[in-house]
Amino acid sequence: MAFPSHAKYLIIGAGVHGLSTAYHLAALLRARGLGSGADILVLDKSGIAAGASGIACGVIRNNYFQPAMRELMAECVAVWESDPKAFSYHPVGYMQISPEAMHRDVAEIAGQQKAIGYESIFVEGAGDCARYMRGLFDDWQARGITSVLHEKKGGYANNGASMYGLAGKAEAEGVRILSGVKVVGFKFASRSGAITAVETDRGDIACDRVIVAVGPWINQIWSLLELPKRIDILGRDGALHRDIPMWTYWCLEEGTLGVDPKLGLTNDGRMPPVIHVDTDAPLFSDVDGSLITDKLWGIYYKPDFNFAGIQGGAMPYKVPTEPDAVAVDPYGPESPEFITDDEFAHMWCSALAFCQKRYSGRIGQWKQEPSGGLGCFTPDSFPVVDVFCENCHVIADSNHGYKMIAIGKLVAEELLGGRSALLEPFRFSRFAAGRLHPVSNSPFPWS
Ligand SMILES: Cc1cc2nc3c(=O)[nH]c(=O)nc-3n(C[C@H](O)[C@H](O)[C@H](O)COP(=O)(O)OP(=O)(O)OC[C@H]3O[C@@H](n4cnc5c(N)ncnc54)[C@H](O)[C@@H]3O)c2cc1C
């Protein structure tokens, strides 16, 4: 097939947002008699699932302190549920297990889940929480827990498989996905500032609409779009905070304990919900008993046959380097810099043992393989989904996003003239207008 010279809809990035937009847009065009998948071109400098979507732990949950995030997540879970087979989706549920410092936040989440009809069970008090958890795992021993929110929906999906499932659905609608084509610039109309063509390392492609879905590479594309690298933000305190960097990199730390995943099953032999524990109880080494931390900490984990073990992660750390100087490539496990180390393995395996006795003494089974990767965060750590340069939708999920498969569906509707109420709280203008999302007491930057 010849290299294309024009595309009506040109999508940059074959991760969850690019592929979801492609698939949903193609289906909508067909359903409304406005065109077909043949109007859509997806470009990726590497290939399908080459970015964060291909290495994500794959957790899908509703548990967010911010009402706008919860409403959007409910929509996302519905998309995952629409075709579990193609999306390699495992609806095992999700548990947020928290200390007293987070009790009120989580109680609010539970109340609002009820209000939007998102099924969950909320357990309060140390004794009842321990009893509830031992009903699932008889070796449960985590301390400092006073609330458990058990979401009955959500769970996890297999990262690469789900992206190939999504790509397959897009291609079945006639979408063309071109791998190995890197976007290196844009051509703008002199009057309107709209994008007229995308410059690639294989030539220019004229286009009517552009959708940017480049995950951790957003800082580079943002520069090519000539958008502001530093912005002013009206804070919740009423003060104008000037010259705040638009993008900041964080490194996500994840890994796998290479035991039989069946070791993680519940008392009745079932796949358990994804477990997320935050606590302020001190964490001691499972190796030598030394103190690892006495500050609020958190981990998440799940038995995963795809990863062949108990897989999960902990809080990410902020990369102090100025964003333009961060080496995003080579990405993920290929990176010499942004992968997990022995210190993380020690912390995470000790934390697993803190939660469940069955994991004690097993650090020797930690999989010594590169894992983890970079995420690119907005100033308030929540997604920005908006139109820039007249005809360019940018989907920048601030690393919340594997689970956010519905954003592409909502963007597809906007491309055909709609305006999504669910996306409204995620517009870029919120920073200048001070419409910021509430902040929780979680130790994670994206809760
Ligand atoms: C280790 C890790 C674990 C995570 N776990 C979870 C989780 O459990 N649940 C969850 O919801 N989220 C998770 N996330 C976050 C989630 O993976 C990301 O937010 C999401 O996958 C981003 O999707 P995307 O489509 O925006 O980008 P990506 O999946 O990163 O795809 C972007 C694509 O753009 C391409 N690209 C970049 N620049 C160019 C260019 N110039 N020209 C052409 N193509 C280009 C890349 O090659 C890439 O394929 C995790 C992230 C990491 C790093």
- Ligand 1 pocket test: which of 44, 299, 339, 400 has the largest number of ligand atoms within 8 Å of its C-beta? 44
- pLDDT for residue 126: 98
Residue nearest to atom 1 of ligand 1 (CA): 372
Q: Can you tell me the distance from the alpha carbon of 127 to that of 145, in angstroms, rounded to the nearest whole number?
A: 9
pLDDT value for 318:
96
pLDDT at 63: 85
pLDDT at 1: 83
Name every protein residue with a CB atom under 6 angstroms from any ligand 1 atom.
Answer: 12-18, 43-46, 50-53, 55-59, 182-183, 213-217, 221, 252, 254, 372-373, 375, 397, 399-403
Give me the tens of pLDDT residue by residue for the chain, a chain 447 residues long: 899 999 999 999 999 999 999 999 999 999 999 999 999 999 999 999 999 999 999 999 988 888 899 999 999 999 999 999 999 999 999 999 999 999 999 999 999 999 989 999 999 999 999 999 999 999 999 999 999 999 999 999 999 999 999 999 999 999 999 999 999 999 999 999 999 999 999 999 999 999 999 999 999 999 999 999 999 999 988 999 999 999 999 999 999 999 999 999 999 999 999 999 999 999 999 999 999 999 999 999 999 999 999 999 999 999 999 999 999 999 999 999 999 999 999 999 999 999 999 999 999 999 999 999 999 999 999 999 999 999 999 999 999 989 999 999 999 999 999 999 999 999 999 999 999 998 888 888 777
Atom of ligand 1 nearest to the CA of 20: 25
Distance from the alpha carbon of residue 45 to the mean position of ligand 1, in angstroms? 13
pLDDT at position 444 is 82
Gap from CA of 362 to ligand 1 centroid (Å): 31
Question: Strand 317-318 relative to strand 248-252: parallel, antiparallel, unpaired?
Answer: antiparallel
Residue 445's pLDDT is: 78
Cα dist from 144 to 148, 164, 425, 439, 443, whole Å: 12, 41, 34, 22, 15
Q: What is the model's pTM?
A: 0.97
Closest residue CA from atom 26 of ligand 1: 215
Given the CA of residue 404, which atom of ligand 1 is nearest to it?
Answer: 11
The atom number, within ligand 1, closest to the CA of 18 reads 25
Locate the ligand 1 atom nearest the alpha carbon of residue 395 and give its number.
Answer: 26
Ligand 1 geometric centre to CA of 16 (Å): 7
User: Looking at ligand 1, which atom is closest to the CA of residue 401?
Assistant: 19
- The whole-angstrom separation of Cα 316 and Cα 442 is 13
